[in-house]
Every structure is written in structure tokens, then in C-alpha cells.
Amino acid sequence: MNILLVAAVAAFGLIAGSFLNVVIYRVPRRESVVLPSSHCPACERPLAAYDNIPLISYIVLKGKCRFCGALISAQYPLVEAVTSLFFVTSLLKYGLTPAFFLAVFFLLVLLSVSVIDIEHLIIPNVIVLPAIAVAAVQIPLFAFTKLDNVSLMDQAYWLWPVVGFLIGGGLLFLLAIVWPNGMGGGDIKLAALMGLFLGRYVIVALFLGFLFGSLGGITAMSFFGKSRKDLIPFGPYLALGSLIALYAGVPLVKWYLSISGLG
């Protein structure tokens, strides 16, 4: 692959990550993501363009505001770096195809929702519902244009995203009925969205999400003094399961079927 293309996509990923930071900070506070321009959360002074360069400004300013010296959260450069990484890994996997844009969009939704869920214990509708609408676009895109060689998972057959949507949303809806304190409406909508992108491989994402969630819950209770009653954000675990299912779901299922003697 052209190294210049990879570098350009990585740079664009950093800029997208910078915007994602604005979304992560402002959406749960019900602020506009467009106005006002970026400012220091401590002294509220607007940032000059040269203090707002993804990753680089954080390093140059040594993680402190130029005016008031307040510490800038390491979350900002981290989100920028991870976003850029998602752009590059998706480019390497899919090339510059419609699947690349869908994969990047899906991963950025997962990343922003995870960070917001960790900080505020909510998965905002204003992110997940429009994302469901965007994800629904891929059904005709892949089904009727016969772009099956570039589909994200197995969208070549239009039914799979619909099946995934129903499995993801339906399974978490049932869980929310039997376990109302553990699962929220946000988790249900997120799982339905995952199904649209992952098709039947949403089962892999949910399995891994519950596995990581249980391990995380046990860790939180044994080492961090959390009790069973404490709310633990579940979105990040669903997101991590989705990331693995997206990149490795197909070989994982093949491997599982071979060791279980089913395939």
C-alpha cells in the first residue's frame, strides 16, 4: 500500500480524533459540538490554532494549559491516537473502499460512546440513533450494488444486518427485563447498532462483551472495593467485543467450529 496514503489517512485520523474529543466532552453536557471554538475547561480561554494541533500541542505544552497551567487530561491525546490507529488499521484491512468508511464510522461511534459511558454512565441517544440510520444505509449499498467483495462482515446478503440488529437489540432487551439494574436502554440500542454493522457476527461481539464485562466486574469488586450494587458501564465491554468481532470475527468463528468439531 502507498505509504503516502497511509500517512495521509493517519493524519486525517488525528484531526477526526480531535473532533471526537469535542463530541465526547460536549454531547453529555448538552453543549453544541460546533460553537464555541475549543477552550480550556479550567480558565475558559479560547485555544489558538497552534495550541489545538492533535497530539503535537499536548506534547509541546507538556500537558498544561498555556495560560493558566491547568493540567490537560491525557484522555485528549489518547483519543486522538486511538482514532488515528482505527483509520490506519481499517485502511490496511479494507483498502480505500465503502467498507473502510463504514468501519471507521462504526469504530468512532464505539470509541466516543465508551468514553462517555465510563465518565457519565450513559450512552447518548443523539449519537446512537443517527448512527443506526447511517448503518441502515449499508443494507441497500451492499445488497443492491453487489459490492460483496468489500462488505464489512457479511452484508453481501441484505438479511444479515437485519438479523444482527434483531439479535443484538432483542437479546439485550430480554436481559434488561430479567436484570433491570444491569442493563440500560442505551446498551440495548448500542447492541442493535452493533448487529447492523456486524451481521450474525454480533453474537461473537456479545459473547466477548459479556466475557470481558464479567472479568471486569469481578476485578472491580475484588480490587477496587466495588459492590454488586455499583453501576458498572457496560458500553466499553460491548465496544471491545465489537472491535475484536470486526477485525477477527471470521477467523475466530472458524477456529471455534474446528476445535468444537462442528465445522
Which positions lie near Zn ion, rule CB under 5 A? 40, 42-43, 65, 67-68, 70
Nearer to Zn ion, 31 or 230 (CB): 31
CB of 27 to Zn ion, least distance (A): 22
C-alpha cell at 240: 471491545
Nearer to Zn ion, 47 or 221 (CB): 47
> Which three-class secondary structure string do you get for 47-109?
CCHHHCCCCHHHHHCCCECCCCCCECCCHHHHHHHHHHHHHHHHHHHHCCCHHHHHHHHHHHH
Nearer to Zn ion, 69 or 263 (CB): 69
Distance CA 100, CA 95 (A): 7
Distance CA 174, CA 211 (A): 18
- CA angle, 70 then 74 then 127, to 5°: 110
Secondary structure of residue 263 in the 3-state scheme? coil
Nearer to Zn ion, 26 or 64 (CB): 64
CB of 49 to Zn ion, least distance (A): 16
Nearer to Zn ion, 49 or 177 (CB): 49
Secondary structure of residue 181 in the 3-state scheme? coil
Contacts of 103 by beta carbon, 8 Å cutoff, 6+ apart: 86, 90, 93, 94, 152, 246
Distance CA 19, CA 12 (A): 11
Nearer to Zn ion, 66 or 226 (CB): 66
CB of 116 to Zn ion, least distance (A): 23
CB of 43 to Zn ion, least distance (A): 3
Smallest Cα–Cα separation from 248: which of 258, 237, 259, 256?
256
Distance CA 171, CA 194 (A): 12
CB of 114 to Zn ion, least distance (A): 27
CB of 51 to Zn ion, least distance (A): 10
CB of 41 to Zn ion, least distance (A): 8
Nearer to Zn ion, 67 or 210 (CB): 67
